[in-house]
Amino acid sequence: MSAIEHLPGIDNGLLRFLTCGSVDDGKSTLIGRLLYDTRTILADTLHAITRTSERRGLETVDLSLLTDGLQAEREQGITIDVAYRYFSTGRRKYIIADAPGHEQYTRNMVTAASTANLAIILIDARKGVLTQTRRHSYLAHLVGIPHIIVAINKMDLVDYDRTSYERIRSDYLEFAATLGIGDVRFIPLSALNGDMIVDRGERLAWYQGPTLLDILENAPTAHSERDEAFRFPVQFVCRPQKAGDPKLHDYRGFMGRVESGEIAVGDEVLVLPSEQRTRVKAIEIYGTSLPRAIAEQSVTLLLEDEVDVSRGDMIVRAQKSALVTRRIEAMLCWLGEAPLDPQRKYLIRQTTRETRAAVEAIGYRLDINSLQQMPAERLGMNDIARVFFKLAQPLCVDTYADNRSTGAFIVIDETNNNTVGAGMIL
């Protein structure tokens, strides 16, 4: 009987996680194994990859085919775009982002990592910690992923040798300390044979820790309502004056998504950037009143006073305000094919607010392989740099380390409306 059948019926919510690592370290095979051993592969899909494996002369089913969704990937045998997969164990729902391993696809990894709450960094047990391992670890740390699992894969190719595992673990811990990465867990496994993925297998008896699925099932959720500051960017001001009901003539609700924290009826709030104080009179969702709202809920807030609130404003708790600023300093990943030109103007969109912006300075460009800080006058695609922006209108921000929603922004080329950059406020 599989270990998946022993899981108790507890719902631990949705977990978004990212897999990353070097080329040929087994990312796609790991995801395929997870889907296969949790029995979340459709019969026709399994039949299709079985036939493909047979045509290629393979003795076993190539589970990596489950995530190689692009034709180009199939032709090259590598993952060049982010492939998303969904599965559920009954105890938790998962969204997996399979990020590419090449340096030229750094922007794809940053995009995938921006919404992940956990990263699995694969290391080939034969090769140990490589430049790509350090690069992906830095990017995962940069975008604020709080939990990292270092999966030392292909243990079958080193005869499940404990010494190899311990050496890689020691090397990685030494590197992680230089970046300040705190929450790291290690697991030896063989994605090809399924050891320590869902079932423990019989060849890693010296490892007494949990399986990969056990770690995922018990990983903390993305939000902690008690710890995070309340942030409510206003998306729409609802004023149904034309409604037939006279009671709605004075209705004025502020619609949006609670990005973090929680709020309750009667709480004192501050409207930014105007800094007007008032209290929450009511909280509604689909016409139903709520006593409180929590992170990731889309609700309508009604305020006690007739304060001036527009789309792009942010409602916060009076005691835990955000920074209102016309200048931001950020780590920027350049996504556009055309280089960043400091002489041009761009649009910056942060939560529901948008403003024109100019590059004040490029502090440095990061050499993503050596992690050295290099001087730069322009940025090309996949470059990561420390950049200072001047803003035409004030933004209500937090540092990215404090809040991944209000500390992030995108840069838009106003000539074609393309997203050309993703930033994390320092």
Angle (CA) 379-357-399 rounded to 5° is 80
Q: Which CATH superfamily is domain 14-218 in?
A: P-loop containing nucleotide triphosphate hydrolases (3.40.50.300)
What percent of the chain lies above the pLDDT cut of 70? Answer: 90
User: For residue 183, what pLDDT is reported?
Assistant: 82
The two three-digit tokens of residue 11, written as one number: 């719902």
Q: Among 34-38, 53-57, 142-146, where is mean pLDDT lowest? A: 53-57
Mean pLDDT taken over the chain: 87
Q: Among 67-81, 133-147, 180-194, 259-273, where is mean pLDDT lowest? A: 67-81
Bond prior to 273 in cis (omega within 30° of 0) = yes
Count other C-beta atoms under 10 Å from residue 43's C-beta. 7
User: For residue 294, what pLDDT is reported?
Assistant: 92
Mean pLDDT of 62-87: 65
User: For residue 81, what pLDDT is reported?
Assistant: 65
Q: What three-state secondary structure class fits 261?
A: coil
Highest mean predicted confidence (pLDDT) among 45-49, 63-67, 239-243: 45-49
| Distance of alpha carbon 187 from alpha carbon 207, whole angstroms | 8
Q: Which residues contact 172 (CB under 8 A, 6 or more apart)?
A: 123, 129, 133, 137, 150, 184, 186
User: For residue 9, what pLDDT is reported?
Assistant: 56
312, 254 contact by CB (below 8 A): no
331, 142 contact by CB (below 8 A): yes
The alpha carbon of residue 188 and the mean position of all alpha carbons in its chain are separated, in whole angstroms, by 24
Angle (CA) 221-224-227 rounded to 5° is 150
| Distance of alpha carbon 20 from alpha carbon 412, whole angstroms | 27
Q: Is 208 a residue whose pLDDT tops 90?
A: yes
User: For residue 204, what pLDDT is reported?
Assistant: 95
The two three-digit tokens of residue 284, written as one number: 């509604």
Q: Give just the sign of the alpha carbon dihedral 207, 213, 214, 218.
A: positive
| Distance of alpha carbon 266 from alpha carbon 28, whole angstroms | 50
Q: Is 42 a residue whose pLDDT tops 60?
A: yes
The two three-digit tokens of residue 182, written as one number: 């705190």
The two three-digit tokens of residue 232, written as one number: 């409510």
Q: Give just the sign of the alpha carbon dihedral 214, 217, 218, 223.
A: positive
Query: What is the maximum span of the chain, computed from C-alpha positions, in angstroms?
Result: 77
| Distance of alpha carbon 29 from alpha carbon 222, whole angstroms | 26
pLDDT, tens digit, 9 for 90 and up, residues 326-340: 999 999 999 899 999
Q: What backbone torsions phi and psi does residue 259 show, to the nearest 5 degrees?
A: -75, -30
**DSSP sequence for 335-378:** --SSPB-TTSEEEEEETTEEEEEEEEEEEEEE-TTT--EE--SS
Do 231-317 and 323-425 agree at the fold level? yes
Between strands 408-413 and 93-98, the pairing is: unpaired
Burial track 231-245 (b if 16+ CB lie within 10 A, e otherwise)? bbbbeeeeeeeeeee
Q: Among 79-88, 334-343, 350-359, 366-375, where is mean pLDDT lowest? A: 79-88
Q: What three-state secondary structure class fits 283?
A: strand
| CATH number attached to the domain at 323-425 | 2.40.30.10
pLDDT, tens digit, 9 for 90 and up, residues 79-133: 556 677 888 888 899 998 877 666 667 777 887 788 889 999 999 999 999 888 8
The residue whose two tokens read 């897999």 is 19
Mean pLDDT of 223-240: 82
Instruction: Please state the domain extents for the chain.
Output: 14-218, 231-317, 323-425
User: For residue 318, what pLDDT is reported?
Assistant: 87
Q: Is 44 a residue whose pLDDT tops 60?
A: yes
Q: In which band, very low, low, confident or very high, does the pLDDT at 1 lie, cut at 50, 70 and 90?
A: very low
Instruction: Please name the helix (run of DSSP H) or strand (run of DSSP E) that holds residue 73, with its range, or none.
Output: helix 71-76
User: For residue 124, what pLDDT is reported?
Assistant: 94
| Distance of alpha carbon 168 from alpha carbon 422, whole angstroms | 32
On the CB side of 15, how many CA atoms lie within 13 Å of its CA? 26
pLDDT, tens digit, 9 for 90 and up, residues 153-166: 999 999 999 999 99
User: For residue 264, what pLDDT is reported?
Assistant: 96
| Distance of alpha carbon 301 from alpha carbon 233, whole angstroms | 11
| Distance of alpha carbon 197 from alpha carbon 195, whole angstroms | 6
Q: Is 257 a residue whose pLDDT tops 70?
A: yes
User: For residue 224, what pLDDT is reported?
Assistant: 54
Q: Is 184 a residue whose pLDDT tops 50?
A: yes
Count other C-beta atoms under 10 Å from residue 364's C-beta. 15
Burial track 109-142 (b if 16+ CB lie within 10 A, e otherwise)? bbbbbbebbbbbbbbbbeeebeebbbbbbbbbbb
51, 98 contact by CB (below 8 A): no
CATH architecture of 231-317: Beta Barrel (2.40)
